[in-house]
């Protein structure tokens, strides 16, 4: 049977089918071009750009987390230390009364601390607050050394008021209340106001080196004059005026007759024309027996 029409090609589309066909149909997938490659300059970027961008974003995210978490300084310290700028040596000079541990504790240096980030001004402030420190300097010596120079206060005397004993400087300013056997050679001055006048009695005692080692303490009486307490318990009452002359007389009498080795409890040098000596109770009783009751024990006087 003969066909009256013509055979339609399977690849030929009617106008209606062509209009309804989805765009791109008939184009091989392998030959399709990505949209971004045709989008201007993006087509010129190297293939590793995406990986680099992802890595950068990750780095920024980690850095932001470190800063927000308060670990920025710690990480910076570690990186600088690894680069050779860690604090590896501390050189100290000038300290005598302060031990090295106290200084290092005030510096607040930790393992991994970097010299670049170390706050020298804050460290100097902390050192200056220490009792013995008069002045302090902190210098950075790159790449890894701290130089610490200390100027200490000089201990001059011990000051007692009540049960409290302090170390004071020559001006009478308290250095510290922590007193140990290292300061036993300092003169102990007693009573309020004595710390400001310690130089006065120290200067007088320096003129009688034979007596100075035997003095245990100096008491300021009525803010006017001094009483000395010797190591054997004898009290020497000094006058308000001519104290140097009275001390020289004490030394002279001790050389002549061993005055300070006798059984006495007090020597009164306040009167310019005579010296009064008060015997101990035992010596006074013995003297009373030897004199047939005529010897008195001596009247007790109030310090003035």
More confident residue, 31 or 169: 169
State the DSSP H helix or E strand holding residue 19, giving kind and residue range, or none if neither.
helix 15-20
Confidence of residue 280 (pLDDT cuts 50, 70, 90): confident
Q: What is the pLDDT of residues 108-130, one digit of tens each?
A: 887 777 787 788 999 999 999 99
Q: So what's the pLDDT on residue 279?
A: 87
Q: Give me the pLDDT at residue 144, please.
A: 83
pTM above 0.85, yes or no: no
Q: CA-CA distance, 216 to 156, in Å (whole number)?
A: 15
> In the chain, which segments carry CATH 3.40.50.11690?
157-290
Query: Is-contact 218 194, C-beta < 8 A?
Result: yes
Q: Which CATH superfamily hosts domain 72-152?
A: membrane protein fhac (3.10.20.310)
pLDDT of residue 31: 53
Taking residues 126-150, what's their average pLDDT? 92
Which part of the chain has CATH 3.10.20.310?
A: 72-152
State the Cα torsion 209-218-180-93 to the nearest 10°. -60
Residue 153 tokens read as 């206060």
| Mean pLDDT along residues 26-51 | 56
DSSP structure string for 50-116: HHHHHHHHHHHHHHHHHHHTT-HHHHHHHHHIIIIIB--EEEEES-SSS-HHHHHHHHT--TT-BTT
240, 279 contact by CB (below 8 A):
no
Of 193, 188, 192, the closest CA to residue 205 belongs to: 188
Largest CA distance in the chain: 184
What fold, for 157-290? Answer: Rossmann fold (3.40.50)
């Amino acid at each position: 049977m003969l066909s009256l029409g013509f055979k339609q090609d399977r690849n030929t589309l009617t106008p209606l089918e062509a209009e309804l066909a989805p765009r791109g149909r008939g184009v091989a997938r392998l030959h399709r071009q990505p949209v971004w490659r045709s989008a201007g300059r993006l087509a010129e970027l190297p293939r590793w750009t995406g990986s680099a961008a992802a890595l950068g974003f990750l780095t920024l995210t980690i850095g932001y987390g470190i800063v927000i978490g308060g670990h920025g300084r710690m990480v910076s310290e570690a990186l600088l230390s690894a680069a050779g700028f860690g604090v590896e040596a501390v050189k100290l000079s000038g300290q005598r009364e302060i031990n090295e541990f106290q200084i290092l504790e005030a510096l607040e240096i930790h393992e991994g601390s970097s010299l670049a980030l170390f706050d020298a001004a804050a460290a100097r402030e902390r050192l200056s607050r220490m009792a013995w420190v008069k002045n302090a300097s902190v210098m950075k010596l790159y790449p890894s050394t701290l130089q610490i120079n200390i100027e200490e206060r000089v201990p001059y005397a011990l000051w007692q008021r009540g049960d409290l004993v302090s170390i004071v400087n020559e001006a009478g300013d308290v250095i510290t209340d922590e007193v140990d056997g290292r300061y036993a050679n300092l003169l102990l001055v007693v009573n309020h106001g004595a710390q400001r006048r310690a130089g006065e009695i120290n200067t007088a005692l320096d003129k009688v080196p034979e007596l100075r080692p035997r003095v245990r303490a100096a008491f300021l009486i009525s803010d006017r004059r001094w009483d000395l307490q010797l190591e054997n318990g004898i009290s020497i009452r000094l006058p308000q005026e001519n104290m140097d002359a009275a001390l020289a007389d004490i030394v002279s009498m001790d050389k002549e007759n061993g005055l300070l080795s006798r059984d006495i409890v007090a020597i009164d040098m306040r009167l310019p024309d005579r010296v009064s000596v008060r015997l101990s109770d035992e010596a006074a009783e013995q003297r009373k027996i030897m004199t047939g009751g005529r010897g008195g024990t001596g009247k007790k006087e109030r310090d003035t």
